[in-house]
Structures are given as C-alpha cells and as structure tokens.
C-alpha cells in the first residue's frame, strides 16, 4: 500500500502524515509513504484543496487534516 500526502509541505501536511502513520501503525498496515508536492501532479489527481490524502493513488481526503480516527476508518481493509 502506498499512502500519499499531497501538498506543499506545510505544517498541516506534516500533521496529516503524522496522523496517517499513526493510523497505519494502529491497524498493523505496512505502507510506503510518499509526499507529493508537485502542483501539476496534485491537480492531475483532482485535488483542489490541500492537504490531501491518497491511498494507492485514490484521493480519500482533501482540504482538511483528517484525524487519526478518520484515517483509520479510511484504511480499514474493507475500504481499501
């Protein structure tokens, strides 16, 4: 699984990555994390508001710093 954090590397982006790492750890998921800062690539993924979270290239959250609990629900095997 690849978890992508889309944004310019701002504090909110770093917080979102921190939450995503905590959620993956809580579920015992091994994931590769990728920071996507290229604005053209972010737009190609359909994201207009950052920070955003994508799982295996599918945007799951945009424009907010999702909580650990919210990301845990997004990463549960039934949703992946």
Q: Which of these is catalytic: 1, 2, 10, 34?
A: 10
Question: Whose CA is closest to 35, among 63, 54, 59?
Answer: 54
Q: Which of these is catalytic: 3, 5, 6, 13?
A: 13
In the chain the first and final C-alpha atoms are separated, in Å, by: 9
Give residue 7's region: left, alpha or beta (phi > 0; psi -120 to 50): left
- The answer to whether residue 14 is catalytic is no
- The answer to whether residue 78 is catalytic is no
**Active site amino acids:** 10, 13
């Amino acid at each position: 699984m690849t978890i992508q954090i889309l944004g310019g590397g701002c504090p909110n982006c770093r917080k979102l990555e921190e939450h995503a790492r905590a959620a993956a750890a809580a579920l015992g998921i091994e994931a590769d994390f990728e920071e996507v800062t290229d604005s053209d690539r972010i737009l190609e993924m359909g994201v207009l508001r950052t920070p955003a979270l994508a799982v295996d290239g599918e945007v799951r959250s945009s424009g907010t710093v999702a909580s650990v609990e919210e990301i845990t629900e997004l990463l549960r095997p039934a949703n992946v």
